[in-house]
Amino acid sequence: MTERLYYQDAYLKEADATVIGIDGDAVMLDRTIFYPEAGGQPGDRGMIGPFRVVDTRKGEDGTPLHIVPGDKPVIGSAYRISLDWEHRYFYMAEHSAQHLVSALLHSLYGIGTVAVHQGESFFTVETDCSHIDEDKLLSVEDAAARAIREGHRIYRREMSHGEAESLHMRRSIKVAGDVMVVFIDGIDAVACGGVHLSSLAEIGEIAYCAQERIRSHVRTIWKCSSSAVAARRQDAAIVSSLCALFSAEPGSLAAEARRTLDECTALRRSMRSILSRLAACEYREAGGSTEEGKAVIFSSDIDISAFEGAVPEDEGRTVLVVSGNRFMLHGSEEDFALFRSGLPSFRIRGGGRGTMFRGSFEGSADELIKEADPLL
């Protein structure tokens, strides 16, 4: 049986332990400060003496399994064990923040939590609702900020199942026998076996980010602590850069961006029209729309898509236009099949329907035109 020191002191960063078993990459200790992955909270990382622990998982009987790839410590030997504290502390904060968010969703709006996930930069709370107004989630963010400023204490108590049931907690108890209950003083009580901060004040801040639909539920996305600070600073830097780019104040940035986008859309539309007229001119200069029956083959610097409207639908001859390593062929399916099969060295790819075919090729455009001329 492993003594779980993280329940005695979640802030314990180092301890002495003895290796009592090894199974593959899993190392068992007589006592540990490493929390195993459970309840959406990732497992701890760190060191067993000189051996790196890359993850901690829970065995079938609940024993913490320290995952050590490569060389293993010696069974029966004592080592100094140490946590990757930055990793542990962040997830303690994220777990505590998730409890607070779930508690406020429930107390303010009667919204239940059905699933949670903790990630490297954000955590999610999947709710039992199919729709939640953004204003409600922003008000939860405001309430979380007040609770953090007030610095409510976080603590845990082990109690009998009956005593825990009498608390009428927001989430049903999923274990039999004695229950570990985590309290946020004056705000929440919920059965949980995770590790948490000792005060909401340590979270620093919680930021609502977005929501999405999953399994007909709303899943809300949040950042906290260093992740929230990093996101806020990144957003501020982006806004500052865009304000300089558009010569606009933050309040008018969206309107200025919309105006610029509308201008660009109009310019692209005009450019497409101009390119189509240029393509038609190049087609005529290359011999298109004449009485001759010979195929029209030429190259252009204009994007190949501009030529789609340049060749009349009733054009009775084969037309091949090459631009860069792209081509457009106007003709029959037999013409296109001949074009592809007759020039295997160019690895021609593409397709089309009716009389219009487009694609790409490898090699020189001049060489392609030279070899396609007698073929078509």
Mean pLDDT in consecutive groups of 10 residues from the start of the chain, 376 residues: 94 97 96 90 95 95 95 96 97 97 98 94 96 97 98 95 92 88 96 95 98 95 97 95 94 94 94 92 78 80 88 81 94 91 93 90 93 87
* The pLDDT value given to residue 293: 64
State if pTM tops 0.85: no
* The pLDDT value given to residue 376: 82
Domain boundary residue, one of 219, 237, 255: 237
Q: Are 39 and 11 in contact (CB under 8 A)?
A: no
> Does 330 lie in the same domain as 206?
no
Q: Are 13 and 85 in contact (CB under 8 A)?
A: yes
Cβ neighbors of 226 (< 8 A, separation 6 or more) are 90, 204
Residue ranges making up the domain that contains 353 = 273-375
Domain boundary residue, one of 83, 105, 121: 83
> Does 93 lie in the same domain as 77?
no
Name which of 187, 41, 182 is nearest 104 in CA terms: 187
Helix (H) or strand (E) holding 217: strand 217-224
> Does 226 lie in the same domain as 110?
yes
Question: How far is residue 339's CA from residue 333's CA, in Å, rounded to a whole number?
Answer: 10
Q: Is residue 266 part of a domain?
A: no
The CATH number covering residue 73 comes to 2.40.30.130
> Does 231 lie in the same domain as 109?
yes
Question: How far is residue 92's CA from residue 194's CA, in Å, rounded to a whole number?
Answer: 8
* The pLDDT value given to residue 174: 85
> Does 113 lie in the same domain as 171?
yes
Q: Are 372 and 354 in contact (CB under 8 A)?
A: no
362 secondary structure, DSSP code: S
* The pLDDT value given to residue 292: 60
107, two tokens:
């107390």
Question: How far is residue 207's CA from residue 310's CA, in Å, rounded to a whole number?
Answer: 54
Q: Is residue 140 part of a domain?
A: yes
Domain boundary residue, one of 83, 104, 131: 83
* The pLDDT value given to residue 294: 77
